[in-house]
C-alpha cells in the first residue's frame, strides 16, 4: 500500500503539463472511459488516481482565479472611494 503523501509530486507534475482547459478535457476523457465499462481493474485504479489529481488541480486553478477576481473587485472599490465622483465645489451649496 502507498501512503497519501505520493499525490503531491503528481499534482506538481499535472500543473507543469496542463492548463485548466486541458486538464478538464482529460477528466472528461477519463469519465467516458470509465463509463464505457471497458477498463480493467488496474486501469480503473490508474484512471481514478489521474482524474483525482486533475480535479484537484482544476479546483486550485479555479480558486486562484476567484481570489484574483476578488482582489480586482477590492482594488476597483478602493479606486472608486479614492477618486471623487465628479466636479464639486469646495463648500456646500445652498439654494
Predicted TM-score (pTM) of this structure: 0.66
Query: For 15-19, 20-24, 33-37, which range has the lowest pLDDT when averaged over its residues?
Result: 15-19
CB 54 within 8 A of CB 25: no
Domain segments of the chain as ranges:
12-81
Residue 46: count of CB within 10 angstroms of its CB: 13
Which residue's entry shows cell 503528481? 10
pLDDT of residue 14: 78
How far, rounded to the nearest angstrom, does the alpha carbon of residue 50 sit from its chain's CA centroid? 17
CA distance 13 to 16: 5
Of 1, 9, 2, nearest in space to 56 by CA: 9
Note the pLDDT tens digit of each residue in 56-86: 999 999 999 999 999 888 888 888 888 776 5
Amino acid at each position: 500500500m502507498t501512503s497519501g503523501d505520493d499525490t503531491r509530486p503528481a499534482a506538481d507534475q499535472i500543473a507543469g503539463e496542463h492548463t485548466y482547459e486541458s486538464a478538464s478535457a482529460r477528466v472528461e476523457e477519463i469519465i467516458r472511459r470509465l463509463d464505457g465499462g471497458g477498463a480493467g481493474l488496474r486501469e480503473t485504479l490508474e484512471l481514478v488516481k489521474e482524474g483525482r489529481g486533475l480535479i484537484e488541480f482544476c479546483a486550485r486553478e479555479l480558486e486562484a482565479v476567484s481570489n484574483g477576481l476578488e482582489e480586482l473587485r477590492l482594488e476597483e472599490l478602493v479606486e472608486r472611494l479614492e477618486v471623487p465622483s465628479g466636479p464639486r465645489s469646495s463648500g456646500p451649496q445652498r439654494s
